[in-house]
Structure 1
Amino acid sequence: MNIAGKKKIIILLTLGIILFVLHSTPHMALRTHVFIMGYPKAALTSEIVDDVYHNKADEQKFAEMNAKAYTLTKPPVEKATQGILSNFLVKRIWFFFTAEYYGDA
């Protein structure tokens, strides 16, 4: 194998490890998602707590989806609508976690 092939393999392995670390826990997946949404300060400084209301209200649906809702204590404010982005849904897919905005409803 030539040097270019080895470099590609090393780069792919490194990206895979980084992706795994950033999505290996629900909190890390949520922080990564908020960071990528464009709110790095909120991603790094906000505490993450269980969203008791949504977890109780949607308990069956979340169990089927293998998901849990979380709330940011210092949520970011969306620039366009001035909406507060506080509630997020974190789903587990095998050993990998993904996060998405869940809304305030």
Structure 2
Amino acid sequence: MKKWIGLVSVLVLIFIMLHSTPHLALRTKVFLMGYPAAALASSIVDDEFHNDRDKDAITALNANIYTLTDPPVEKATQGQLRNYLVRKVGFLHFAEYYGEG
């Protein structure tokens, strides 16, 4: 029983660490999408254009949009996975692909 409690505690701690900042949450999302090289090597910058344009919706979601400077390329469509919406829920951050629009 102690081993299970220890294992669950370690997994919860890792989850919290990987979602503790917007950049770590974004890197975790890209890594889990299957692009580990892009997750580790790409720089992350604020997407000022989308943040200004969609200001009301983003504020309502308690979110911010970030852009990867060296984004991964999706194999099926050859599109660049550049922009991501990062929401803050409590003290954790969660990223999702935002698209180009």
TM-score of the pair, normalised by structure 1: 0.95
Kindly indicate whether residue 73 of structure 2 is the aligned counterpart of residue 74 of structure 1.
no
Deviation at 1:74, TM superposition (A): 0.1
Tell me the equivalent position of 2:39. Answer: 43
**Secondary structure, counterpart of 1:89 in structure 2:** strand
Tell me the equivalent position of 1:93. Answer: 89
Q: What stretches of structure 1 move > 6 A for 4+ residues in a row?
A: none
Deviation at 1:16, TM superposition (A): 0.4
Amino acid at match of 1:47: S
Q: Give structure 1 stretches of 5+ with no counterpart.
A: none
Aligned residues: 101
User: Rg larger in 1 or in 2?
Assistant: 1
Deviation at 1:60, TM superposition (A): 0.9
Deviation at 1:19, TM superposition (A): 0.1
Aligned-partner Cα distance in 2 for 1:69–1:12: 32
Aligned-partner Cα distance in 2 for 1:102–1:96: 19
Deviation at 1:94, TM superposition (A): 0.2
Amino acid at match of 2:77: T
Amino acid at match of 1:32: T
Considering only aligned residues, what root-mean-square deviation do their CA atoms show, in Å?
0.4
